[in-house]
Structure 1
Amino acid sequence: MRMVFSLVMVLGLGLAGFAAWKTSEFINVTKAREQAALKRIVPTVEVFVANKPLPFGHVLTPDDVVKVAWPKNALPETIFQDPALLFPGDGSRQRTVIRQMEKFEPLLASKVTEPGEDAGLNTRLDRGMRAFTIKVDASSGVSGFLRPGDRVDLYWTGNTAGLTAESSGEITKLIESGINVVAIDQSTEGTATGAAKSVTVAVSPQQVARLAQAQMTGRLAMSLVGVSDDTTAAAADVDKRGLLGIIQQEVAPVEAAKVCTIRTRKGAEVVEIPIPCTN
């Protein structure tokens, strides 16, 4: 009996020792794996990325971006990490997207403008509108008083002789009213000085065709519309007679005098002899 008890105790101690050894081995292996995993973990930093597709010309707001972890050893040179740099000041000087970005694409300085910087002329055009440039001088361009954002009426002066029965030479006609100016010369800012050489306006494709034809066949002049003026200019056609107030007199047709005759025969010859008309 004592021998059996001793044998069981020895066997139990052996099993306990084996279990302890296996446990220790498992712990050592687990620690080694954890240390290897820690060595493989790449340090990260938080950066700003787009949280949705951002098209060209989009004005960037805090709602368009989100912060994500980015590998520290793979940071692009001009990536944004500080919100004060991405959105400086009180929000009045916003950045504009100048390269289309996809969702979760990092925001880089090369993909957005500087704060308050204009992104270009095409960002000022509404849907369906086109930019058209008109050559002007000091008189036709309102002597340098135009600025981007102004509205103008456009007048065409050209020769209409031979186009219609009533055409009588040169005429000045209002062809477009309340057209938006988007650029002066090559500037979209309101800082231009002096008389402009060209004015770019935002018009529809149909208006582009009209203005191109007008510029080829005559001279264009502009008149500045007031800021608070919401009226629509009435049609205006003025030629030389209208300018000088000359009214063309209509000549009444002269009725030809009625002549009455009688015919008489003298031999083989028939002679008409005038006589007074009785009615």
Structure 2
Amino acid sequence: MRLVFGLVLIIGVALAGFAVYMAQGYLAKTTAERNALIAAQQKAKPTVNVIVVKKDKAYGERILPEDVVSIRWQKDSLPAGHYLEMEELFPVGKDPRTVITAMNKFEPVLKSKVTEPGEDAGLTSRLGKGMRAFAIKVDRTSGVSGFLRPGDRVDVYWTGSINGREATKLIDTSIKLIAVDQTSDEGYSSPSIARTVTVAVRPDQVAALAQAQSTGRLTLSLVGAEDDTVSADIEVDQKSLLGIKDKEVRQVEVEKVCTTKVRKGAEVIEQPIPCTN
């Protein structure tokens, strides 16, 4: 009996020791994980709540409170024009805003992508302060084969007569398209042959483009999305295109000859004499 009791006691002590060992290991692991989490939190950059859409939103759709949600976003990487508060996006007593640039699910709602409260998604919402909308007639050739879309930037070339010679000249650079035919949705990407494009320009540019369109033919050249170069003055005519140079006109000095008429009998002859002038 004593042997059995001793054996049970030994086994009990061993199990207790093993339990204590396992508990110490678990506590050590938990402490290490807690310390690692605290260290990671201390290293993490601060975040703020930003409003994003919960589903894809297309051009022209109204944006409602049930379409958005507030999520945590790294504070130093917030895009410009974001909304932090629901009250700012949805002012009390005002109609909803309208989407003017398509947004994907969980994309931040930006001021550049929605109208003012109650405003329609028309061209006026695309015009900045001091800018005007101007329509340019285009065809398959002058309109870049139908690959223009709202939001693109183009250079404008004029072709017409300058002092009796046909020439093509760059008259405006990197102007923004705000509509192609009747479409002003920047998310629209299907190629189509447009008849007119609408650009956002200053009043002085409106006058220049109107004059150019009435006196010649306008052609658009698509500018790359990340191209920030400034185009220099460009003018090309047929002679410069083909490398034809105007012939140099040389003046030839003609020696002056003076004569006098002398009568010899019935005959009158012309005789050279020194010129006095």
TM-score bracket relative to the smaller structure = 0.5 to 0.7
Note if contact 2:151-2:176 (Cα within 8 Å) is conserved in structure 1. yes
Q: What residue identity is the alignment partner of 1:196?
A: A
In the other structure, the counterpart of 1:202 is 200
Task: In structure 2, list runs of 5 or more residues that go unmatched.
Answer: 1-64, 66-80, 97-104
Note if contact 1:140-1:220 (Cα within 8 Å) is conserved in structure 2. yes
Alpha carbons of 1:250 and 1:63: their partners in 2 closer, same or farther (altered >3 Å)?
A: farther
Q: Is residue 104 of structure 2 the alignment partner of residue 92 of structure 1?
A: no
Which protein is bigger by CA-based radius of gyration?
Answer: 1
CA distance in 2, matches of 1:194, 1:66: 39
- TM-score, normalization by structure 1: 0.55
CA distance in 2, matches of 1:204, 1:265: 84
In the other structure, the counterpart of 1:177 is 173
Note if contact 2:150-2:179 (Cα within 8 Å) is conserved in structure 1. yes
Q: How many Å apart are 1:242 and its aligned residue?
A: 1.5
Alpha carbons of 1:183 and 1:59: their partners in 2 closer, same or farther (altered >3 Å)?
A: farther
In the other structure, the counterpart of 2:126 is 124
CA distance in 2, matches of 1:66, 1:159: 56
CA distance in 2, matches of 1:204, 1:138: 27
Q: How many residues align?
A: 180
CA distance in 1, matches of 2:126, 2:115: 12
Q: What is the CA deviation profile of residues 82-132 of structure 1, one whole-angstrom value per residue up to 9, with x for unaligned ones?
A: xxxxxx97653875335xxxxxxxxxxxx356xxxxx21111111111110
RMSD: 3.7
1:142-157 equivalent positions in 2, closer than 5 A: 142-157=144-159
Q: How many Å apart are 1:155 and its aligned residue?
A: 0.4
CA distance in 1, matches of 2:156, 2:124: 22
CA distance in 2, matches of 1:184, 1:262: 82
Q: Secondary structure at the match of 2:229?
A: coil
Alpha carbons of 1:126 and 1:66: their partners in 2 closer, same or farther (altered >3 Å)?
A: closer
Note if contact 2:145-2:193 (Cα within 8 Å) is conserved in structure 1. yes
Q: What is the CA deviation profile of residues 124-157 of structure 1, one whole-angstrom value per residue up to 9, with x for unaligned ones?
A: 1111111100010011001111111111110001
CA distance in 2, matches of 1:67, 1:261: 107
In the other structure, the counterpart of 1:13 is none
- TM-score, normalization by structure 2: 0.55
Q: How many Å apart are 1:175 and its aligned residue?
A: 0.6
Note if contact 2:115-2:125 (Cα within 8 Å) is conserved in structure 1. no
In the other structure, the counterpart of 1:31 is none
Note if contact 2:148-2:191 (Cα within 8 Å) is conserved in structure 1. no
Note if contact 1:59-1:97 (Cα within 8 Å) is conserved in structure 2. no
Note if contact 1:241-1:247 (Cα within 8 Å) is conserved in structure 2. yes
Q: How many Å apart are 1:240 and its aligned residue?
A: 1.3
Q: How many Å apart are 1:235 and its aligned residue?
A: 1.2
